[in-house]
Structure 1
Amino acid sequence: TDAAYYFWLEVGQPVEGSIDAEHIELDVDELPPEAKLQVVLFGFDGELVLTKGQDVGELILQPDGQVQVATRVAEPNGVDEELLGRRLFFPIQTPSDDGTYRLRCNIYYEQTLLQSRLVTAKVMADPEPEKGVKALETAVDFVISKSLSGSHVTKMSPTRLSMMINDNGNDTHGFRFFGQDNFKNDTFLDAGELQNLLDLARGALRKAAWGEEEEYNGQAYLYTSGLDIGRLKVDLIRCAIRGYRFYDVVINRLAGDADKAWDLADLMLKPGQVQIASKQSARLVMPAAMIYDYPLDTGLKGPYFKLCPEFEKNLKAGTPLETTACFKGECPSYGHDDTVCPSGFWGYRHAIGMPVTIPNAPDAPVELKIGAAPEISMAVSTDPAFVGRQEHEQRVKGLAPNLKFNYADERPEAMDLMKKTSPHVLYFFCHGRVAADTPSIIVGPPDTRGIARDNLRNSRIRWR
């Protein structure tokens, strides 16, 4: 207890005395020359204590295939240069009381979280070995790539910000952030606070879609008659106000302090990839797409807000928005706190991915092999209120000249499609429903039975 130690990590052959519960091989054969992996430690409140400024290290791939240290964290006395060259050492401190304590060790490639390890230490003032009890252990509990295959890793796009979410088990959710320029922080939101943010975000989107903040109950879709700039402006303003207030709630905690919040805002201004990783469930979500981070005076009354003129001009002209200045981080209205631009939303400006670790599942593919022709299976709702469906179907059919297109507008047809075809994309364009706490999707008429997860098992449907 209350003592200084080093946590160390190296990549290579298994080491005698390693505390890994499971050996995860690092296949570096196809990594690019001098590829770098960032190793980042995160603490838990009141548990193993990290040393500020000595919690991020780098490993680099050598021409001979060996992985060496690129950026040292600490140099313990008496450790020779050869060992310092291949092993990262992180200084830590144990608490003063007996107990079991943790830290988290994450491995990133170009800011994309690849693996996360939970490190557990049994701390005692007078240690006494217990049969069958390990004093030290690491367990991998998030994996985007189980093997860290070089070919798999190098096809991942660089990430501007990675955010790991997990349930802390005490009605709080922990957030671990790592981004470009070694930006690092961790914080937490209590479960009620996070749920409130989710409810506000969903309420704004429901209000835009069917005019009420409550869950869908057969109301008519509001955007049925083409472009309506007036309606769009009102809905964007409502979403921006809630998105900016959400941003204000989390930004200082996310960045670490008020000064770093501005650095993070600058980092996130240009479009990029944002990774929100969960080690437990896709239900553990953060409404990141609704974050609005352009300056905004939320105290203004609705009529005094403006819609970004550059965005409005390009929208009316039919210009692909991703090619315009606004969505490249160069919005001319940025800084005008009475003007709302859709590019201020993370969901419009960034590509947001939400990978979840699924036990015993293969690595998530970073590309789909097409072969002779791409294939899409589309299952749709035939609800008369689902306007624009037929036009949308035609656009999907026209995505590629040699596209193989499978179609279902009834529940039995959709089940049959899922069982008999293996498309590159399975696309459901339909309503969802929750009954008895069980979510399902509704293919065909709105009064038909839903397709729930257990229906796939019952029909022996699975994908490889």
Structure 2
Amino acid sequence: MSQHGAPTPPDRSPYETLLRTLLDEAMGSGGLRIDAEARAAIDDLLADGTRDRKAFEWELERILAFHDDFAELWDTWRESRDAGLRGATGSPPVHGTDVPGPRVTGRVPERTAPGEEPDEEPGTRVLNLCLTWPLSRCVVPPETALAAGRRYELRIDIGDLARESLLAEHSRPFPDDQLPHDDDNGRGDRLDVVVLSDDFTVAPERHPYFLPLTGSGWVCLCPDDATMHTCEPHHRSKFLRIPVTAPYETGPSRLRVIVTHRGNQLQSASVTAWVASKEQPGVPASAVIDFTLTAGFAALATLPQRSAGIRIGHGTNGAVTVDVLGTGAPISTFRLTELQVLDALNQTRDTLDHVHAEATADGTVRNRLLPGNRKEAREAAHDLFQLAQHGWRLLTLLAPHAEQRAGLSAALDGPAEIQICRENSQDIMFPWTFVYDIPIDGNHPPKLCTAGGRAVAADLDARSCPDADSHGYNTLCPFGFWGFRHLIEQPPSLLPGRRLPLYAGRGGDAPHMTVARSLTLNQHLSEQHMAALRETFRDEVTDCADRVTLQAALKTGQHDCVYFYCHGRRPDTPQRRATTTVLEIGHTDRIEPSALATWQADSTGWRHSTPLIFLNGCHTADIDPTTWLGFVDAFSGLYASGTVGTEISVEQALATEVAERFWQHFLAGENVGTALHRVRTGLLRKGNVLGLAYTAYCSNSLRLRGDVR
């Protein structure tokens, strides 16, 4: 008999049995609450005897999709019930998560069948991703197109490779012997997972996920700030399940999954699924790991805390997606076209070119910098104003809506450490250091912030204005620029088995530098520069002025720093065909990125020396789609610890000063982020803003290994 006194027909589905059990418990318990609308829909479903099993389960799916509170209660109640049954009997629960599914034949079970374990080394752990139906918790077969507007779940876990995982063919091993184990009293590591999409409807939230010393990770209800887990094993779920709703537009749709630890973006993956008007055979769903900061999730304890993360990836229809992650929840997702990014890069370089050089009537270029790479205060303020106008345009391009800019401001108001990661094969970088976040109006004279200038003059490490609270409309302050207020790092994505380098060089008390230089530069300045470098490195310098000498020096691996003081050339391409950036040393010797790989083909020297590379020329670090293979990625592939490069054509005297200042700071024990910031501040003291033209593609925490000067 039912609670209403009417005869209860035989259950048409195991889920009908579960549903009736839940209703019985809800009526007899003060802790289970079902809202009136959901309860009415459930009663109608149970009373309708005309539905067969398939129709019953379709309708229950619809109820779960349209009543989120009941869907959450249903999931929580089933997980609690399943855990209790396992604890009592030691066997799988009756009508649990592995019940045959209600829809499409050929679906994949949640567990790998006995005797069919994936071919992985014992103990390796990887990121697994699956799309599942929320009712049956069965995996949606990859070849099944999703139904437009229907609710699904993205199932996430880190553990043994699951055969049904969409990443099964693209997994990255997890070396668990290198984890820090500094959470839960040394029992594991707290990670965060974020799922974002331009297509699916998904809540932009941060989801905690705990990875123990061995075995699979889990989710639980312990507070994030708890020093130890108080939950019992049967309170935990192996899987993190994120509700996602397929878009109403048919065609390919993407989800982005980002795993972080202390603000560091450890690994990200892209899931592509095909959406149709209804569930049916279609284009197979797929997933790929598109960024890896460490070897799997290795060496997490060595990664410093980061305030915010920015992920640049591929969107739909050729767009570029920019996901901004805070320490709490995702801040926002922005979408730019490739053309918008390229225009921003070109306008930035044009603005910087105008700051330090101008074309004359006879076709020559005049250096606008005074001796010592200085500028008078009035002209320096004019430069800052011009650059601030451009920087504000960059911000409004990135975040066109006031609410988006407010979100960025709230997360990045004070000095922050920002990590920017680009998806594999995403060859677009945004000019982040030039972003200016104080509203500036080029039609009216700005209000010059004198407090910011005093802070720069007083402290090379200054990163905030003492009078920041009074910054209002049209205020001109150096700390309105992200490059002067924040420490921004842009580490490359690493191959499996590679860690993010935090040390450069071989160690020891005699760092060695290999210099590749051009002989077509001003020779007087070049000789002065080489003398300064020899003094800094105590004569541990190998001077290479031709291709043959450089090839021999690089193959030895006996260097801690490699410095290119030369021309960087890339042919103009009006048709935007891919072209190869080349470095020109000696008189006419040109070096392509591919040549570096060829020279190192029979050598493993850089694996041990992991040198820091400095490219001091023009257009040597300009990553954009017209570059066939940039030197930044080429050096990373050869085990360089990082690359520093210029964004524009830099006048020789300025280039030498920047390099000499940087190497002095770096050899004194400062990390790359601090050294580069001090170079920028030192130039700014002289009215020179061109320190922003140098970018570091590595961890800001990278420093010289071993003894320092």
* TM-score class normalised by the smaller sequence: 0.7 to 0.9
SS in 2 for 1:435: coil
Q: CA deviation at 1:356?
A: 3.4
Quick one: which amino acid aligns to residue 307 of structure 2? Answer: R
Partner of 1:239: 387
Of 70, 90, 100, 2:242 maps to 90
Change (3 A) 1:65 1:397: farther
Quick one: which amino acid aligns to residue 173 of structure 2? Answer: E
Contact 2:455 2:466 in 1 (8 A): no
Change (3 A) 1:49 1:321: same
Q: Distance in 1 between matches of 2:543 and 2:451?
A: 39
SS in 2 for 1:321: coil
- 2:151 is aligned with 1:4: yes
Partner of 1:434: 570
- 2:177 is aligned with 1:41: no
Partner of 1:68: 218
Partner of 1:155: 302
- 2:433 is aligned with 1:289: yes
Contact 2:206 2:330 in 1 (8 A): no
Q: CA deviation at 1:330?
A: 3.6
Q: Distance in 2 between matches of 1:65 and 1:32?
A: 17
Q: Distance in 1 between matches of 2:258 and 2:326?
A: 13
Q: CA deviation at 1:285?
A: 0.9
SS in 1 for 2:183: coil
- 2:489 is aligned with 1:353: yes
Q: Distance in 1 between matches of 2:365 and 2:335?
A: 37
Q: Distance in 2 between matches of 1:288 and 1:390?
A: 34
Of 513, 538, 543, 1:376 maps to 513
Of 552, 573, 594, 1:454 maps to 594
Partner of 1:110: 262
Which TM-score applies when normalising by structure 1? Answer: 0.79
Of 199, 203, 206, 2:353 maps to 206
SS in 2 for 1:371: coil
- 2:197 is aligned with 1:57: no
Of 102, 112, 121, 2:273 maps to 121
Q: Distance in 1 between matches of 2:234 and 2:286?
A: 25
Contact 2:312 2:420 in 1 (8 A): yes
Contact 1:116 1:143 in 2 (8 A): yes
Q: Distance in 1 between matches of 2:152 and 2:218?
A: 22
- 2:291 is aligned with 1:142: yes
SS in 1 for 2:581: strand
- 2:368 is aligned with 1:222: yes
RMSD of aligned C-alpha atoms? 3.6
Q: CA deviation at 1:148?
A: 1.1
Q: CA deviation at 1:202?
A: 0.8
Q: Distance in 1 between matches of 2:493 and 2:364?
A: 35
Contact 1:269 1:329 in 2 (8 A): no
Quick one: which amino acid aligns to residue 5 of structure 1? Answer: Y
Change (3 A) 1:70 1:273: farther
SS in 1 for 2:159: coil
- 2:417 is aligned with 1:273: yes
Change (3 A) 1:56 1:458: closer
Q: CA deviation at 1:14?
A: 3.2
**1:246-395 equivalent positions in 2, closer than 5 A:** 246-252=394-400, 258-281=402-425, 283-300=427-444, 304-305=445-446, 308-313=449-454, 319-322=458-461, 324=462, 327-328=463-464, 330-331=466-467, 335=471, 337-357=473-493, 362-368=498-504, 370-373=506-509, 374-385=511-522, 389=526, 392-393=529-530
Q: Distance in 2 between matches of 1:413 and 1:224?
A: 36
Change (3 A) 1:103 1:12: same
Q: CA deviation at 1:432?
A: 1.4
Identify unmatched segments of 5+ residues in structure 1: 73-79
Partner of 2:585: 443
| Deviations 1:371-427, CA, capped at 9 Å, x for gaps | 223333233344455886555555545556x78433334444333332333423212
Change (3 A) 1:209 1:179: same
Q: CA deviation at 1:107?
A: 0.7
Q: Distance in 1 between matches of 2:368 and 2:513?
A: 29
Contact 1:279 1:357 in 2 (8 A): yes
Of 544, 547, 554, 1:408 maps to 544
| Deviations 1:209-229, CA, capped at 9 Å, x for gaps | 32259xxx9735433502223
Q: CA deviation at 1:428?
A: 1.8
Contact 2:296 2:496 in 1 (8 A): no
Which TM-score applies when normalising by structure 2? Answer: 0.54
Q: Distance in 2 between matches of 1:431 and 1:144?
A: 31
Q: Distance in 1 between matches of 2:435 and 2:545?
A: 35
Q: Distance in 2 between matches of 1:220 and 1:434?
A: 22
Change (3 A) 1:84 1:102: farther
SS in 2 for 1:197: helix
Contact 2:181 2:213 in 1 (8 A): no
Q: Distance in 1 between matches of 2:568 and 2:315?
A: 30
Q: Distance in 2 between matches of 1:338 and 1:99?
A: 45
**1:414-429 equivalent positions in 2, closer than 5 A:** 414-429=550-565
Partner of 1:75: none
Structure 1 or 2: more strand by fraction: 1
Q: Distance in 1 between matches of 2:449 and 2:524?
A: 28
Q: Distance in 2 between matches of 1:307 and 1:394?
A: 40
| Deviations 1:245-276, CA, capped at 9 Å, x for gaps | 21123234xxxx52352242132132222222
Quick one: which amino acid aligns to residue 217 of structure 2? Answer: V
Q: Percent identity?
A: 21
Q: Which segment is superposed worse, 157-166 or 223-232?
A: 223-232
SS in 2 for 1:11: strand
Change (3 A) 1:422 1:345: farther
Q: Which segment is superposed worse, 356-365 or 281-290?
A: 356-365
Identify unmatched segments of 5+ residues in structure 2: 1-146, 223-231, 573-578, 608-709
Quick one: which amino acid aligns to residue 392 of structure 2? Answer: Y
Quick one: which amino acid aligns to residue 321 of structure 1? Answer: L
Change (3 A) 1:386 1:352: farther
Q: Greater relative contact order (Cα 8 A, min sep 6): structure 1 or 2? A: 1
| Deviations 1:289-348, CA, capped at 9 Å, x for gaps | 110113433322xxx446543454566x6x5421x3xx1354559615555332221122
Quick one: which amino acid aligns to residue 593 of structure 2? Answer: R
Contact 1:172 1:188 in 2 (8 A): yes
Structure 1 or 2: more helix by fraction: 2
Structure ID, larger Rg: 2
Which runs of structure 1 show a deviation greater than 6 angstroms over 4 or more consecutive aligned residues? Answer: 63-66
Partner of 2:182: 32
Contact 2:438 2:474 in 1 (8 A): no
Contact 2:167 2:288 in 1 (8 A): yes
Count, aligned residues: 431
Partner of 2:118: none
Quick one: which amino acid aligns to residue 343 of structure 1? Answer: F
SS in 2 for 1:18: coil
Change (3 A) 1:25 1:124: same
Partner of 1:77: none
Q: Distance in 1 between matches of 2:411 and 2:376?
A: 31
Contact 1:161 1:275 in 2 (8 A): yes
| Deviations 1:90-148, CA, capped at 9 Å, x for gaps | 11123456644321111111222111112233455665668xx75x4432122122421
